[in-house]
Amino acid sequence: MCESLQRSAGQRWIRCAILVAASTGYTGCGGPDGATPVVGPAPAAAASPELYGAGLFSTGARDLFIAFSPDQHRVLLSRGDQKLESFEIFESRLDNAGHWSPPVKPRFARGWSTADPHVAPDGRTVFFLSDRPNPGETAVRPTHDIWSASLGADGEWGEATHLPATINDPDRDEWCPAVAANGNLYFSADRPGTHGGTDLWVARMVDGVYQTPENLGDAINTEAHEFEAWIAPDESYLLFSALHRAGGLGGYDLFFSRRRDGRWEPARPITAVNTEASEYNESVSPDGKWLYFSSTRQFHGVIGERFDYPRNEAAITGIGNGNDDVYRVSMVAIGLGL
Protein backbone atom coordinates (compact mmCIF):
# COMPACT_ATOMS: atom_id res chain seq x y z
CA MET A 1 0.00 0.00 0.00
CA CYS A 2 1.21 3.47 -0.84
CA GLU A 3 2.54 5.59 2.00
CA SER A 4 0.88 8.98 2.27
CA LEU A 5 3.16 11.97 2.76
CA GLN A 6 0.22 14.05 4.01
CA ARG A 7 1.08 16.76 1.52
CA SER A 8 -0.15 16.85 -2.07
CA ALA A 9 -1.78 14.25 -4.28
CA GLY A 10 1.11 14.58 -6.67
CA GLN A 11 3.65 13.81 -3.97
CA ARG A 12 1.64 10.78 -2.90
CA TRP A 13 1.74 9.66 -6.54
CA ILE A 14 5.53 9.99 -6.61
CA ARG A 15 5.88 7.89 -3.46
CA CYS A 16 3.48 5.34 -4.96
CA ALA A 17 5.66 5.03 -8.06
CA ILE A 18 8.75 4.45 -5.93
CA LEU A 19 7.07 1.82 -3.76
CA VAL A 20 5.53 0.05 -6.73
CA ALA A 21 8.90 -0.21 -8.43
CA ALA A 22 10.48 -1.49 -5.24
CA SER A 23 7.74 -4.02 -4.56
CA THR A 24 8.20 -5.70 -7.93
CA GLY A 25 11.80 -6.51 -7.16
CA TYR A 26 13.35 -5.09 -10.31
CA THR A 27 16.78 -4.37 -8.93
CA GLY A 28 19.02 -6.28 -11.32
CA CYS A 29 21.21 -4.66 -13.93
CA GLY A 30 21.02 -5.59 -17.59
CA GLY A 31 20.19 -9.19 -18.37
CA PRO A 32 19.81 -12.17 -16.05
CA ASP A 33 22.16 -12.05 -13.05
CA GLY A 34 23.15 -8.48 -13.97
CA ALA A 35 24.53 -9.35 -17.42
CA THR A 36 25.15 -6.47 -19.82
CA PRO A 37 22.48 -6.25 -22.57
CA VAL A 38 23.55 -7.42 -26.01
CA VAL A 39 23.97 -4.84 -28.76
CA GLY A 40 22.52 -5.78 -32.14
CA PRO A 41 20.01 -4.92 -34.85
CA ALA A 42 16.53 -3.95 -33.80
CA PRO A 43 13.86 -6.64 -34.22
CA ALA A 44 11.12 -6.22 -36.81
CA ALA A 45 7.88 -4.53 -35.75
CA ALA A 46 5.77 -7.02 -33.82
CA ALA A 47 3.16 -7.24 -31.10
CA SER A 48 5.92 -7.66 -28.53
CA PRO A 49 7.34 -4.34 -27.29
CA GLU A 50 10.99 -3.63 -28.10
CA LEU A 51 13.49 -1.57 -26.15
CA TYR A 52 13.92 1.71 -27.99
CA GLY A 53 16.59 4.37 -28.33
CA ALA A 54 19.43 2.72 -26.41
CA GLY A 55 21.93 5.31 -25.21
CA LEU A 56 19.54 8.26 -25.63
CA PHE A 57 15.94 7.37 -24.74
CA SER A 58 16.91 4.30 -22.68
CA THR A 59 20.02 4.77 -20.58
CA GLY A 60 19.52 3.02 -17.24
CA ALA A 61 18.43 6.32 -15.67
CA ARG A 62 14.78 7.02 -14.93
CA ASP A 63 13.89 7.57 -18.59
CA LEU A 64 10.27 8.63 -18.51
CA PHE A 65 8.85 10.18 -21.65
CA ILE A 66 9.55 11.08 -25.29
CA ALA A 67 7.65 13.52 -27.51
CA PHE A 68 8.48 13.90 -31.21
CA SER A 69 8.03 16.90 -33.47
CA PRO A 70 5.62 16.36 -36.39
CA ASP A 71 8.50 15.57 -38.80
CA GLN A 72 10.13 13.33 -36.16
CA HIS A 73 13.47 15.12 -36.58
CA ARG A 74 13.34 16.59 -33.08
CA VAL A 75 12.42 14.95 -29.81
CA LEU A 76 11.89 16.09 -26.25
CA LEU A 77 12.73 13.55 -23.56
CA SER A 78 12.11 13.59 -19.84
CA ARG A 79 14.17 12.02 -17.05
CA GLY A 80 13.75 11.92 -13.29
CA ASP A 81 16.14 11.54 -10.41
CA GLN A 82 16.26 8.23 -8.60
CA LYS A 83 13.57 9.24 -6.10
CA LEU A 84 11.32 10.85 -8.74
CA GLU A 85 11.45 14.13 -6.84
CA SER A 86 13.09 16.25 -9.55
CA PHE A 87 12.74 16.06 -13.33
CA GLU A 88 14.52 17.33 -16.42
CA ILE A 89 13.53 17.81 -20.06
CA PHE A 90 16.11 17.57 -22.86
CA GLU A 91 15.97 17.97 -26.62
CA SER A 92 17.79 15.97 -29.30
CA ARG A 93 17.79 16.54 -33.07
CA LEU A 94 18.32 14.18 -35.97
CA ASP A 95 21.00 15.35 -38.38
CA ASN A 96 21.35 14.68 -42.11
CA ALA A 97 23.65 11.75 -41.39
CA GLY A 98 20.97 10.04 -39.32
CA HIS A 99 22.56 10.73 -35.93
CA TRP A 100 20.73 12.05 -32.90
CA SER A 101 22.52 14.94 -31.22
CA PRO A 102 23.57 14.80 -27.56
CA PRO A 103 20.61 15.96 -25.46
CA VAL A 104 20.55 19.56 -24.23
CA LYS A 105 18.00 21.49 -22.20
CA PRO A 106 15.77 23.84 -24.20
CA ARG A 107 15.30 27.35 -22.87
CA PHE A 108 12.05 26.65 -21.00
CA ALA A 109 13.58 23.68 -19.15
CA ARG A 110 16.57 25.43 -17.58
CA GLY A 111 16.82 26.15 -13.87
CA TRP A 112 13.71 24.33 -12.62
CA SER A 113 12.21 20.86 -12.41
CA THR A 114 10.28 20.13 -15.63
CA ALA A 115 8.59 16.96 -16.88
CA ASP A 116 6.02 15.34 -19.18
CA PRO A 117 6.55 17.25 -22.45
CA HIS A 118 3.74 17.03 -25.00
CA VAL A 119 4.18 18.68 -28.39
CA ALA A 120 1.00 20.05 -29.98
CA PRO A 121 0.02 18.44 -33.29
CA ASP A 122 1.19 21.50 -35.25
CA GLY A 123 4.60 21.33 -33.57
CA ARG A 124 4.52 25.00 -32.50
CA THR A 125 3.79 24.59 -28.78
CA VAL A 126 4.97 22.26 -26.05
CA PHE A 127 3.03 21.68 -22.83
CA PHE A 128 4.76 20.39 -19.71
CA LEU A 129 4.57 20.44 -15.92
CA SER A 130 6.84 22.23 -13.47
CA ASP A 131 7.07 23.26 -9.83
CA ARG A 132 8.81 26.54 -10.70
CA PRO A 133 7.54 29.75 -9.10
CA ASN A 134 4.42 31.19 -10.63
CA PRO A 135 4.56 34.71 -12.05
CA GLY A 136 5.22 37.13 -9.20
CA GLU A 137 6.66 34.42 -6.93
CA THR A 138 10.25 33.49 -6.12
CA ALA A 139 10.13 30.15 -4.31
CA VAL A 140 9.71 26.66 -5.72
CA ARG A 141 6.09 25.60 -5.39
CA PRO A 142 4.95 22.56 -3.36
CA THR A 143 2.68 21.53 -6.25
CA HIS A 144 3.10 21.09 -10.01
CA ASP A 145 1.34 23.30 -12.57
CA ILE A 146 1.01 23.06 -16.34
CA TRP A 147 3.11 25.42 -18.45
CA SER A 148 3.70 25.90 -22.17
CA ALA A 149 6.41 27.23 -24.46
CA SER A 150 6.30 28.27 -28.10
CA LEU A 151 8.67 27.65 -30.97
CA GLY A 152 10.28 30.92 -31.99
CA ALA A 153 11.13 32.28 -35.43
CA ASP A 154 14.70 31.10 -34.81
CA GLY A 155 13.51 27.51 -34.48
CA GLU A 156 14.26 27.39 -30.76
CA TRP A 157 11.88 26.87 -27.87
CA GLY A 158 11.09 30.03 -25.92
CA GLU A 159 10.50 30.77 -22.26
CA ALA A 160 7.85 29.08 -20.16
CA THR A 161 4.32 30.52 -19.93
CA HIS A 162 2.05 29.66 -17.02
CA LEU A 163 -1.40 28.39 -18.01
CA PRO A 164 -4.37 30.28 -16.51
CA ALA A 165 -6.14 29.61 -13.22
CA THR A 166 -8.89 27.80 -15.14
CA ILE A 167 -6.35 24.99 -15.49
CA ASN A 168 -3.98 25.45 -12.58
CA ASP A 169 -5.27 25.27 -9.03
CA PRO A 170 -2.69 26.92 -6.73
CA ASP A 171 -3.26 24.31 -4.02
CA ARG A 172 -3.32 21.15 -6.15
CA ASP A 173 -1.16 19.25 -8.61
CA GLU A 174 -1.94 19.16 -12.30
CA TRP A 175 -0.17 16.42 -14.24
CA CYS A 176 0.62 15.14 -17.69
CA PRO A 177 -0.83 17.62 -20.22
CA ALA A 178 -1.85 16.53 -23.71
CA VAL A 179 -3.46 18.67 -26.38
CA ALA A 180 -5.70 17.91 -29.36
CA ALA A 181 -5.49 19.71 -32.71
CA ASN A 182 -8.45 21.93 -31.75
CA GLY A 183 -6.65 23.11 -28.60
CA ASN A 184 -8.59 21.05 -26.09
CA LEU A 185 -6.28 20.28 -23.17
CA TYR A 186 -6.37 16.92 -21.38
CA PHE A 187 -4.63 16.45 -18.04
CA SER A 188 -4.83 14.60 -14.73
CA ALA A 189 -5.67 16.12 -11.35
CA ASP A 190 -7.22 15.38 -7.98
CA ARG A 191 -9.85 18.12 -7.80
CA PRO A 192 -13.49 18.42 -6.69
CA GLY A 193 -15.63 16.02 -8.72
CA THR A 194 -13.05 13.24 -8.82
CA HIS A 195 -14.19 9.62 -8.76
CA GLY A 196 -11.98 8.92 -5.76
CA GLY A 197 -8.37 9.35 -6.85
CA THR A 198 -6.62 11.36 -9.52
CA ASP A 199 -8.88 11.60 -12.60
CA LEU A 200 -8.53 12.67 -16.21
CA TRP A 201 -10.06 16.00 -17.24
CA VAL A 202 -10.46 18.09 -20.38
CA ALA A 203 -10.49 21.88 -20.64
CA ARG A 204 -12.04 22.79 -23.97
CA MET A 205 -10.67 25.67 -25.99
CA VAL A 206 -13.44 28.01 -27.13
CA ASP A 207 -12.54 31.22 -28.99
CA GLY A 208 -9.01 31.04 -27.63
CA VAL A 209 -10.09 30.63 -23.99
CA TYR A 210 -9.91 27.49 -21.85
CA GLN A 211 -13.26 26.53 -20.40
CA THR A 212 -13.86 25.00 -16.95
CA PRO A 213 -12.32 21.49 -16.93
CA GLU A 214 -14.75 18.60 -17.35
CA ASN A 215 -14.28 15.16 -15.83
CA LEU A 216 -14.03 12.51 -18.55
CA GLY A 217 -16.62 10.40 -16.78
CA ASP A 218 -17.24 6.82 -15.72
CA ALA A 219 -16.00 5.25 -18.96
CA ILE A 220 -12.51 6.59 -18.19
CA ASN A 221 -12.21 7.37 -14.50
CA THR A 222 -12.60 5.02 -11.53
CA GLU A 223 -11.86 5.06 -7.81
CA ALA A 224 -8.27 4.23 -8.73
CA HIS A 225 -5.75 6.81 -9.93
CA GLU A 226 -5.84 7.67 -13.65
CA PHE A 227 -2.87 9.59 -15.05
CA GLU A 228 -1.04 10.64 -18.18
CA ALA A 229 -3.63 11.16 -20.87
CA TRP A 230 -2.40 11.00 -24.43
CA ILE A 231 -5.09 12.24 -26.80
CA ALA A 232 -5.24 11.61 -30.55
CA PRO A 233 -5.05 14.87 -32.54
CA ASP A 234 -8.67 14.40 -33.70
CA GLU A 235 -9.78 13.16 -30.23
CA SER A 236 -10.80 9.80 -31.72
CA TYR A 237 -8.97 7.80 -29.07
CA LEU A 238 -7.35 8.22 -25.68
CA LEU A 239 -4.47 6.45 -23.96
CA PHE A 240 -3.70 6.74 -20.26
CA SER A 241 -2.03 4.99 -17.35
CA ALA A 242 -3.67 3.93 -14.09
CA LEU A 243 -2.38 2.75 -10.73
CA HIS A 244 -3.81 -0.54 -9.38
CA ARG A 245 -6.90 -0.25 -11.56
CA ALA A 246 -9.17 -3.25 -12.12
CA GLY A 247 -8.01 -5.10 -15.23
CA GLY A 248 -4.39 -4.15 -14.76
CA LEU A 249 -1.54 -6.54 -14.07
CA GLY A 250 0.97 -4.63 -11.99
CA GLY A 251 1.54 -1.21 -10.50
CA TYR A 252 0.82 1.18 -13.37
CA ASP A 253 -0.83 -0.18 -16.52
CA LEU A 254 -1.83 1.34 -19.85
CA PHE A 255 -5.47 1.67 -20.93
CA PHE A 256 -7.19 2.64 -24.18
CA SER A 257 -10.57 4.09 -25.15
CA ARG A 258 -12.14 5.10 -28.46
CA ARG A 259 -14.59 7.94 -28.91
CA ARG A 260 -17.79 6.88 -30.68
CA ASP A 261 -20.62 9.29 -31.48
CA GLY A 262 -19.23 11.82 -29.04
CA ARG A 263 -18.90 9.35 -26.14
CA TRP A 264 -15.94 7.50 -24.69
CA GLU A 265 -16.19 3.74 -24.76
CA PRO A 266 -15.32 1.95 -21.50
CA ALA A 267 -11.53 1.95 -21.23
CA ARG A 268 -9.79 -1.40 -21.59
CA PRO A 269 -6.27 -2.47 -20.64
CA ILE A 270 -3.64 -2.80 -23.35
CA THR A 271 -2.85 -6.43 -22.60
CA ALA A 272 -0.11 -6.70 -25.23
CA VAL A 273 1.92 -4.12 -23.28
CA ASN A 274 1.06 -4.44 -19.60
CA THR A 275 3.15 -6.59 -17.24
CA GLU A 276 3.48 -7.17 -13.51
CA ALA A 277 5.93 -4.26 -13.52
CA SER A 278 4.77 -0.70 -14.30
CA GLU A 279 4.00 0.73 -17.75
CA TYR A 280 3.30 4.45 -18.12
CA ASN A 281 4.45 7.71 -19.76
CA GLU A 282 2.89 6.73 -23.07
CA SER A 283 2.86 8.67 -26.33
CA VAL A 284 2.16 7.92 -29.99
CA SER A 285 4.38 8.86 -32.92
CA PRO A 286 3.04 11.75 -35.03
CA ASP A 287 2.36 9.35 -37.92
CA GLY A 288 0.30 7.12 -35.62
CA LYS A 289 2.45 4.04 -36.21
CA TRP A 290 4.18 3.56 -32.88
CA LEU A 291 3.18 3.50 -29.23
CA TYR A 292 6.01 4.58 -26.93
CA PHE A 293 6.02 4.05 -23.18
CA SER A 294 8.38 3.57 -20.25
CA SER A 295 8.49 0.44 -18.12
CA THR A 296 10.19 -0.84 -14.99
CA ARG A 297 10.30 -4.39 -16.38
CA GLN A 298 13.61 -6.19 -16.35
CA PHE A 299 15.32 -6.37 -19.70
CA HIS A 300 17.73 -8.86 -21.19
CA GLY A 301 18.71 -9.63 -24.74
CA VAL A 302 19.37 -7.44 -27.77
CA ILE A 303 19.05 -3.71 -27.08
CA GLY A 304 18.61 -2.82 -30.75
CA GLU A 305 19.84 0.26 -32.54
CA ARG A 306 22.09 2.62 -30.58
CA PHE A 307 20.98 6.25 -30.57
CA ASP A 308 23.91 7.75 -28.67
CA TYR A 309 26.34 9.66 -30.89
CA PRO A 310 29.19 9.82 -30.31
CA ARG A 311 29.09 6.45 -28.55
CA ASN A 312 29.02 6.47 -24.75
CA GLU A 313 29.18 3.02 -23.22
CA ALA A 314 28.10 4.39 -19.84
CA ALA A 315 24.78 5.31 -21.46
CA ILE A 316 23.79 1.65 -21.97
CA THR A 317 25.29 -0.26 -19.06
CA GLY A 318 22.32 0.42 -16.77
CA ILE A 319 19.62 -0.62 -19.23
CA GLY A 320 17.26 -3.17 -17.70
CA ASN A 321 18.11 -2.28 -14.12
CA GLY A 322 14.48 -1.82 -13.09
CA ASN A 323 14.41 1.97 -13.27
CA ASP A 324 12.55 3.10 -16.38
CA ASP A 325 13.46 2.17 -19.94
CA VAL A 326 11.63 3.36 -23.06
CA TYR A 327 9.89 0.80 -25.28
CA ARG A 328 7.91 0.96 -28.48
CA VAL A 329 5.40 -1.34 -30.16
CA SER A 330 3.49 -1.13 -33.44
CA MET A 331 0.00 0.31 -32.98
CA VAL A 332 -1.33 -1.97 -35.72
CA ALA A 333 0.32 -5.07 -34.26
CA ILE A 334 -1.44 -4.61 -30.91
CA GLY A 335 -4.80 -3.84 -32.49
CA LEU A 336 -4.85 -0.08 -31.91
CA GLY A 337 -4.14 1.13 -35.42
CA LEU A 338 -6.77 3.26 -37.12
Average pLDDT in the chain: 87
Q: How far apart are CA 252 and CA 122, in angstroms?
A: 30
Which percentage of the chain shows pLDDT scores above 70? 86
- Listing from the earlier edge strand, what are the strands of the sheet with 290-295? 50-51, 325-330, 290-295, 279-284
52-76 per-position pLDDT tens digit: 999 999 999 999 999 999 999 999 9
Residue 226 near residue 240, CB atoms below 8 Å = yes
Is the pTM here over 0.85, yes or no?
A: yes
**Where does residue 154 rank: exposed (0-12), middle (13-18), buried (19+ CB within 10 A)?**
exposed
CATH code for the domain in which residue 234 is found: 2.120.10.30
Higher-pLDDT residue of 115, 42: 115
**Is residue 338 domain-resident?**
no
* pLDDT (mean) for 125-144: 92
**Is residue 3 domain-resident?**
no
**Is residue 1 domain-resident?**
no
Q: How far apart are CA 242 and CA 274, in angstroms?
A: 11
* pLDDT (mean) for 38-61: 76
Q: How far apart are CA 189 and CA 280, in angstroms?
A: 16
The per-residue pLDDT for 142 is 87
Q: Quickly state the pLDDT bin for 338 (edges 50, 70, 90).
A: low
Residue 72 CA, distance from chain mean position:
17
**Is residue 335 domain-resident?**
no
* pLDDT (mean) for 208-223: 97
- 45 pLDDT higher than 70: no
Q: Quickly state the pLDDT bin for 46 (edges 50, 70, 90).
A: low
Helix ranges (H only) for the chain are: 9-23
The per-residue pLDDT for 21 is 40
The per-residue pLDDT for 337 is 78
145-195 per-position pLDDT tens digit: 999 999 999 999 999 999 999 999 988 999 999 999 999 999 999 999 899
The per-residue pLDDT for 4 is 31
Where are any strands of DSSP class E within 165-250?
Answer: 174-179, 185-189, 199-203, 205-206, 209-210, 214-215, 225-231, 237-243
- 117 pLDDT higher than 60: yes
**Is residue 337 domain-resident?**
no
Q: Which domain holds residue 26?
A: 9-330
State which of 7-11, 258-262, 300-304 shows the largest mean pLDDT. Answer: 258-262
**Is residue 4 domain-resident?**
no
Which percentage of the chain shows pLDDT scores above 90? 76
- 8 pLDDT higher than 80: no
**Spatial CB neighbours of 312, under 8 Å, sequence gap ≥ 6:** 55
Q: Quickly state the pLDDT bin for 3 (edges 50, 70, 90).
A: very low
Q: Count structural domains, the chain.
A: 1
Enumerate long-range contacts of 3-12, CB under 8 Å, 24 or more apart. 7/142, 8/142, 8/143, 8/172, 8/173, 9/172, 9/173, 9/189, 9/190, 9/198, 10/143, 10/144, 10/173, 10/175, 11/142, 11/173
The per-residue pLDDT for 134 is 86
**Is residue 133 domain-resident?**
yes
**Is residue 208 domain-resident?**
yes
262-316 per-position pLDDT tens digit: 999 999 999 999 999 999 999 999 999 999 999 999 998 889 999 999 999 999 9
